[in-house]
Amino acid sequence: MVKEINQLEKLTKQEWDYLLVLDACRYDYFKKLYKDFFKEGKLEKVNSPASETSEWAKKAFSGCFNDIVYLSANPRINSKVEVKGFKANKHFHKVIDIWNHGWNQKLGTVHPKTVNESLKRAILAWNNSKKFIAHYIQPHEPYIEVEKTGDKSVGVASLLPRKFRMSIGRTIRDYLSPNIYNLVSNTFGLDYSSSLRLKDAKEKGTDFLKTCYVKNLKIALAELTKLLNESSEKIVITADHGEYLGECNKYGHPPGEESPHVREVPWFESFN
Q: What is the mean pLDDT of residues 54-58?
A: 96
Confidence category of residue 4, pLDDT binned at 50, 70, 90: confident
Segment 73-80 shows an average pLDDT of: 94
Q: Is the pLDDT score of 128 beyond 90? A: no
Q: Are 114 and 74 in contact (CB under 8 A)?
A: no
Q: How far apart are CA 201 and CA 215, in angstroms?
A: 13
- Nearest Cα to Cα of residue 145 among 92, 42, 218, 226: 218
Pairing state between β 65-72 and 131-139:
parallel
Residue 171: its pLDDT value, please? 52
**Helix spans in 14-141 (H):** 27-33, 53-60, 98-101, 112-126
Q: What mean pLDDT is predicted for residues 8-13?
A: 94
**pLDDT at 145 (0 to 100):** 85
Structure confidence at residue 57 (pLDDT)? 97
- Give the start-to-end residue ranges of the domains of the chain: 5-146+197-270, 149-192
Could you tell me which residues are beta bridge partners of residue 41? Answer: 270
Q: What is the structure's pLDDT at 188? A: 53
Q: What is the pLDDT of residues 152-164, one digit of tens each?
A: 444 444 445 545 5
pLDDT digits (tens, 9 = 90+) for 12-49: 999 999 999 999 999 999 999 999 999 889 999 999 99
| CATH class entry, domain 5-146+197-270 | alpha beta
Interstrand relation of 264-270 and 235-239 (parallel, antiparallel or unpaired): antiparallel
Between 210 and 164, the more confident residue is: 210
What pLDDT band is residue 148 in, cutting at 50, 70 and 90? confident
